[in-house]
């Protein structure tokens, strides 16, 4: 099973692509996916925060993932 992840802002810059596809970690959860992304792209671990959205809603680390899910990595944002 593989997962397609959309990347935005600094996460896109770090990875070098706007969309990547990765084999699903075991177990296939948001937290495990974040761990795998940080392993493959260590600079992602240096961000002060990084959220994951699944099917257009923020997801908790224990949320299971399916290949049909729309997954997005949401970088920290600043405003003023």
pLDDT digits (tens, 9 = 90+) for 22-54: 998 888 999 999 999 999 999 999 998 889 999
Cβ count near 44 (within 10 Å)? 19
Q: Is the pLDDT of residue 77 over 80?
A: no
For 68, how many CA atoms within 13 A lie in the half-sphere containing its CB?
0
Give the chain's domain count: 1
Query: What CATH number corresponds to the domain at position 30?
Result: 3.10.20.30
In a domain, 79, yes or no: no
Cα first-last separation, the chain:
41
Q: Is the pLDDT of residue 70 over 80?
A: yes
Question: Residue 13's domain spans which residues?
Answer: 2-74
In a domain, 39, yes or no: yes
Model confidence pTM above 0.75:
yes
pLDDT at position 18 is: 97
- Please classify residue 53 by burial: count the beta carbons closer than 10 Å to its beta carbon, then call 0-12 exposed, 13-18 middle and 19+ buried: middle
In a domain, 80, yes or no: no
């Amino acid at each position: 099973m593989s997962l397609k992840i959309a990347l935005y802002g600094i996460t896109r810059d770090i990875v070098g692509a706007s969309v990547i596809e990765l084999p699903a970690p075991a177990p296939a959860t948001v937290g495990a996916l974040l761990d795998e992304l940080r392993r493959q792209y260590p600079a992602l671990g240096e961000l002060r925060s990084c959220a994951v959205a699944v099917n257009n809603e923020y997801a908790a680390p224990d949320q299971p993932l399916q290949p049909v899910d729309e997954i997005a990595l949401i970088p920290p944002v600043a405003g003023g």
